[in-house]
Amino acid sequence: MLKQYKLKNFKLILIIYVVALSVIGVLLVGSASPGDQKKQIIGVVSGFIIMMIISVIDYSFVLKFSWLIYLFSNAMLILVRFAGDNAKGAQRWFEIGGFRFQPSELVKILMILFFAWYFMKYEEKVNTAGVLSGAFVLVGIPLALIVIQPNLSMTIITALVFASLLFVAGLNYKVVVGVLAVCVPSFLILMTLIIQDKVPFIRPYQIGRIMAWLYPDDYPDIAYQQQNSIMAIGSGQLWGKGLNNTDSTSVKNGNFILEPQNDFIFAVAGEELGFIGTAVIIILLLFITTECIFIARKAKDMAGRLIACGMAALIGFQSVVNIGVASGLLPSTGVTLPFVSYGLTSLWSLYIGIGFVLNVGLQPKKY
């Protein structure tokens, strides 16, 4: 389980990026919701400790328990469906002594580990019908359990991460082109049907969010948060209004956005830190993503490469969705900004994932 590692292979720069972004997150959460800052600090400190412990545990040893990881993931998703805490029409959390745990956040990391093992096991057969169909069935079960919570945004991000793993595993380019040829027109048709309210599996509130994104003036009651977020980002101009400002027109002081410490934390960053502050956040997220890819390129095997690329995809996609929503480029949806938004489960899950990436970096391939 534990091996002798060389200190020169320890990716300190990745830790610096993660800690720097987490510190910015603590400051922004403290400004947006002072009562949650202490919990965020606890989450960052404990997450850092978890990350360092996992970084010295051989990921190859962990992958020996891949089926247990997969079954555990689905068991959590099933259990939360029947015994979870219901809030705002969604049943996604466990409430334990005042602490809320969201299984789907951890499942994203566990699915990366499982499919890293799966695609490495069938590395030479990844383009065969049996392996591909098996992979789609295996990923379909947790995706279905997440979407019925309901949590469509988490489902989409998990599916995108799976698609990235499949591509890195060596999916034939002909298959990729064929899938895109089907998916692109299918997406356009789906959007047309959604606008016409003819898609039965899309819930009314989800249709409302899409319509409010397309036609904000016609749906002011739904679009107001996203529109306020856009104005908040613009109002920060170059340097922002400053952390913990008392401006009555501020999104956090005027309650123009509900729970700004979570999904709309980027709006708080734009308003209080300005263009410079938001640029720093985006650059740090980009550096973390690219560092994971650099580590993947030197991984000793397919599994290590997939773990590092999977985390890069997760952080990249989730960041794009969160920032896209806050800036009005995407329909409103509940996705946190990695290492910045408030949420202990999200923080711990990301730190666990980075811990595995660091371990991949400690075991580079030998030339």
pLDDT in tens, 239-270: 888 888 777 777 777 777 777 888 889 999 99
In a domain? residue 1: no
What integer pLDDT is reported at residue 214 of this predicted model? 76
Q: Which residues, in sequence order, are bridge partners of residue 2?
A: 57
Share of the chain above pLDDT 70, in %: 88
What integer pLDDT is reported at residue 117 of this predicted model? 96
In a domain? residue 367: no
Q: Which residues, in sequence order, are bridge partners of residue 271?
A: none
DSSP annotation of 99: E
In a domain? residue 366: no
Give the separation between CA 197 and CA 219, rounded to whole angstroms.
15
Indicate the helix (H) or strand (E) that contains 366: none
Give the separation between CA 176 and CA 163, rounded to whole angstroms.
10
Phi-psi region of 259 (alpha: psi -120 to 50; beta: other; left: phi over 0): left
pLDDT of 153 strictly over 90: no
| 141-150, 255-264, 284-293: range with highest mean pLDDT | 284-293
Q: Pick the closest to residue 103 from 91, 112, 114 (CA basis).
A: 91
Number of Cβ within a 10 Å radius of residue 326: 28
Taking the CA atoms of residue 128, residue 134, residue 137 and residue 143 in that order, the dihedral angle to the nearest 10 degrees is -90
What integer pLDDT is reported at residue 191 of this predicted model? 61
- Mean pLDDT score of the chain: 86
Tell me the mean pLDDT in the region 185-194.
Answer: 66
Give the separation between CA 289 and CA 14, rounded to whole angstroms.
9
Structure tokens that stand for 2 in this block: 């534990």
Categorize the per-residue pLDDT at 184 as very low, low, confident or very high, splitting at 50, 70 and 90.
low
pLDDT of 229 strictly over 80: yes
Residue 69, C-beta contacts closer than 8 angstroms, at least 6 positions apart: 62, 110, 113, 114
Residue 305, C-beta contacts closer than 8 angstroms, at least 6 positions apart: 168, 296, 297, 299, 360
List alpha helices for 196-264, DSSP H.
204-214, 220-235
| Number of domains making up the chain | 1
Listing DSSP states for 340-356 in one string gives TSS-HHHHHHHHHHHHH
φ and ψ at 101, to 5 degrees? -120, 125
With H, G, I as helix, E, B as strand and everything else as coil, classify residue 85.
strand
Give the separation between CA 333 and CA 320, rounded to whole angstroms.
12
What integer pLDDT is reported at residue 85 of this predicted model? 74
In a domain? residue 271: yes
Give the separation between CA 45 and CA 38, rounded to whole angstroms.
11
| 89-103, 125-139, 202-216, 347-361: range with highest mean pLDDT | 347-361
Long-range contacts of the stretch 283-288 (C-beta < 8 A, 24+) = 284/17, 284/20, 284/21, 284/24, 285/21, 285/315, 285/316, 285/319, 285/338, 287/17, 288/14, 288/17, 288/18, 288/21, 288/315, 288/338, 288/339, 288/354
Cβ–Cβ < 8 Å for 356, 311: yes
Omega cis (within 30) before 150: yes
Give the separation between CA 116 and CA 309, rounded to whole angstroms.
10
Query: Range of 86's domain?
Result: 7-361
In a domain? residue 2: no
| 79-88, 150-159, 344-353: range with highest mean pLDDT | 344-353
